[in-house]
Amino acid sequence: MNEHRVVVTGMGAVTPLGSGVRESFNGFLEGRNGVTRVTHFDVSEYRSKLAAEVKDFDPENWTDRKSASRMDRFTQFAVASAAMAMDDSELISFDRDRAGVIIGSGIGGAQALDEGYSILHEKGPRNLSSFLVSRMLVNMAAALVSIKYGLRGPLSALSVACSTGSNAIGDAFRIIQRGDADIMLAGSSEACISPLPYGAFCATRSMTASESPETASRPFDRNRDGFVMGEGAGVVVLERLEHALNRNARIYAEIAGYGNTADAYHLTAPAPDGSGMVRVMQLAMRDAGLGREDINYINAHGTSTVLNDKGESAAIEKVFGEFASQLKVSSIKSMIGHLMAAAGSVELVSTVMSVYTGRIPPTINYRDRDPDCTLDYVAGGAESLDIKAAISNSFGFGGGNCCLAVKKFEGNSAL
């Protein structure tokens, strides 16, 4: 198999800190907090009351009013992010038979489902909208992006809980790497700050009970007590290197490695020995041809839950050994909460921007050292570093683990 190199030439994101990659990334660097009390619905009876909501989002900036009204919020986020990524890539003339889409989601049309249930119980089945199915299906985001841009290559919609976005980008990377496409739009979207899914996660007791929005999301801190639910989307344009060079595209970074493992242990808890996390980082680095000493930065999964943060820190120490103390590790979930299925794609966007700009976002709210979490979590504010290579971790309910390795693009000398 002739393996092709794969680069990132466009990015788009919708996050609780803003619509747009640069607005969001600047917010990460500034350490801005996007967590507030939930405004989408009344949470007075819920165990958790906080979330990182996307604010001031107008889908009509990226699609017409009629089309927007037929989309669930998660689809609107995905369409907007894809439009930003396509504009950013400056792709105009290309073979659309060799361009595809993989955009995943965990829950899909959560608001459509909640609204549909209400109509069904209050008014009966004859009052359900004919657009309800297309609003709630997980694959509608990918399908509508494919239709919007006439992309006739591979089309898929993954759902792997919180690692969905990373898996989508990793699978798209593989498709280009093996020569089945020249261009892939890949990422994920989630908008599940809605009564049923929010209440369901409250029932798992995995979300914070804090009522302080400023400090509720505190990855790796000794006093962390659960994650903060967020919403948003991230989409990247991946391109075969030769294709990008032939059109003089701006190249942000190279996607160089992809690891995917399963804990095969528990529906919601990570394996106690962290073996799945260890193996997935090792696989991604091996795939990229990177040694432990080559990695400068890790964009951590860092959920602010007791088990994840402890397990991820231990896994990093096991993988990197004596090099672990030299690593910069940070979690942007400290600022935007856990975007669920969208987390991995937005975090990959942030990782690429760190590699491209040499700037690392901090982990805010890290104040009390946990003896089980002893790495350098960039707690004192954003830092500058010439990053040669970085990895982005994503772990999800069901035991799914994903890791993406990103290299600084050094030109075409290796062609």
HSE of 259, CA atoms in CB hemisphere, 13 A: 26
Contacts of 45 (CB under 8 A, 6+ apart): none
Strand, coil or helix: 31: coil
Q: Rounded CA gap, 355 and 119, in Å?
A: 48
How far apart CA 4 and CA 173 sit, in angstroms, is 10
Under 8 Å between Cβ of 177 and 234? no
What is the rounded CA–CA span in Å between residue 46 and residue 1? 53
- Is residue 338 annotated as part of the catalytic site, yes or no? yes
Q: Tokens at residue 159, please?
A: 């759902």
Active site residue 243: no
- CA distance linking residue 20 with residue 16, whole number of Å: 11
CA–CA separation, 78 and 73 (whole Å): 9
By the 10 Å C-beta count (0-12 exposed, 13-18 middle, 19+ buried), 200 is classed as: exposed
Identify the active-site residue in 4, 192, 243, 301.
Answer: 301
CB distance 383 to 296 below 8 Å: no
Q: Check 162, 202, 373, 402 and give the catalytic one.
A: 162
Task: List the catalytic residue out of 192, 338, 402, 403.
Answer: 338
- 77: exposed, middle or buried (C-beta count within 10 Å: 0-12, 13-18, 19+)? buried
Which candidate, 355, 168, 397, places its Cα nearest to that of 263?
A: 397
Tokens of 1: 């198999």
Q: Which two tokens stand for residue 30?
A: 């500034």
Backbone angles phi, psi at 375, to 5 degrees: -85, 180
N- to C-terminal Cα distance for the chain?
16
Give the catalytic positions in this structure: 162, 301, 338
